[in-house]
Structure 1
Amino acid sequence: MRIVIAGGHGKIALRLERLLAARGDTPVGLIRNPDHATDLREAGAEPVVIDLEKATVTELTEKVMGADAVVFAAGAGPGSGAARKDTVDRAAARLLADAASLAGVRRYLMVSAIGVDDGPAPGTDEVWAAYVEAKRAADADLRERSLELDWTILRPGRLTDDPGTGRVRLAPKVERGDVTRDDVAAVLVALLDEPASIGRTLELVGGDTPVAEAVAAATA
């Protein structure tokens, strides 16, 4: 499969690209900074330079044409202000959905965040509140596209760089907790392979169930 990944140089995306390349898929990473191209090639991915905050839907459609699926794994990242939470975490996700629809690419996986439907907690700082609202809006927009896109929303808990365990807890609602980026990437691969995950919003934290079994149970 040819999988186009927005945020192609992100920590989850690079892990996902390695997994996809290792099994013979063709991962394509969308990156803003051309200096990151070497890292993508080393991960087995094809780098494509495009700025999702500036690109038109026509420009992005050209980049996703011919893909079997798209994955939104982009984010404004640490140190960014509230404005970029909206332009990246919400608007870029919507732009990718528009482009996928125009290109005829139905499969869309969204990397979101646990608990965003609950909204920001009272007393949350402005930037984190903007992030939560941006993620919630992006997810809501995607859920309204069932006629044009076969979407799945994955909402991981607090991300860590610890080695993956291959064991997780995955369900529509789980208690908040940590999850490794390795395990998030592994779950994304499994969700790509599972048609029953289409139209589902799933939360993910570390757990005791092997990834394949967790995905099968959560989508049964």
Structure 2
Amino acid sequence: MRIVIAGGHGQIALLLSRELARRGDLAVGFIRKPEQADDLRAAGAEPVVLDLERSSVEQVAEVLRERSADAALFAAGAGPGSSAERKYTVDRDGSVKLAAAAEQVGVRRFLQISTMGAGSPPRPGTDEIWAAYIDAKTQAEEDLRSRSLDWTVLRPGRLLDTPSTGLVALAPPPLAPGSVPRADVALVLAELLGSGAGGGSVLELTSGETPVADAVRALG
């Protein structure tokens, strides 16, 4: 299986690339900077230099077509310290562009990393940047749900850099707020891709008591 990942140099994407390689699959990761390529290769992924903000749907579609992609994953984000404007140009528009490209070339399986809190208006008094982030993620989810794709939206809780526990809580919203290691997010994504489970679902994810494979299997 070949999975094209937007945001291929992100922490979750690199962890996922290693897990996919371990399972015999291949990640193809979009990167903006050529100097990031070695990090992807070290994770077992194929790097493709492509700036999603500045590329057209047709350019993105061409990569999906050339790499014979079986699935696409939106894992990109403007990142800490970015402006409210870039929350929309990356976190919303990047997902819209990748999803449109997937539709264009017939790549039906599409996973989107969102965040807990998306799907509802930001709370009154929320910081402007965080409010823009939540709004951008919500709009990206709404766009994806409108498409004829086998989509899954994954909303992790607060992300941790701690080692994987392999134990999660995974369910449609609402799930009690919590945190989750990035490594466990990667494991859940790999299991969703490998099993095909969770199609047409918005799922929330935190650390919990259920092994990843069992939690994904329970989705039906």
Give TM-score scaled by structure 2 length.
0.97
Gaps (5+ residues) in structure 1?
Answer: none
Aligned partner of 2:35 in structure 1 is 35
Deviations 1:120-156 (A, max 9, x none): 11111111000000000000000011x3x11000000
SS at match of 2:119: helix
Structure 1 residue 115, shift from structure 2 partner = 2.2
Segment of structure 1 superposing worse, 189-198 or 85-94: 189-198
Aligned partner of 1:186 in structure 2 is 187
For 1:192 and 1:69, the matched residues in 2 are separated by 8
Superposition map of 1:190-201 within 5 A: 190-201=191-202
Structure 1 residue 22, shift from structure 2 partner = 1.2
Q: Percent identity?
A: 59
RMSD, matched Cα: 0.8
For 1:22 and 1:49, the matched residues in 2 are separated by 24
Aligned partner of 1:214 in structure 2 is 215
1:144 has 2:152 as partner: no
Structure 1 residue 23, shift from structure 2 partner = 1.2
1:160 has 2:140 as partner: no
Segment of structure 1 superposing worse, 7-16 or 109-118: 109-118
Structure 1 runs (4+) deviating above 2 angstroms are 193-196
Residue 69 of structure 2, aligned match among 63, 67, 70: 67
Aligned partner of 1:92 in structure 2 is 94
Count of aligned positions: 217
For 1:213 and 1:138, the matched residues in 2 are separated by 28
Structure 1 residue 112, shift from structure 2 partner = 0.4
Gaps (5+ residues) in structure 2?
Answer: none
Residue 105 of structure 2, aligned match among 93, 100, 103: 103
For 1:167 and 1:196, the matched residues in 2 are separated by 18
Give TM-score scaled by structure 1 length.
0.97
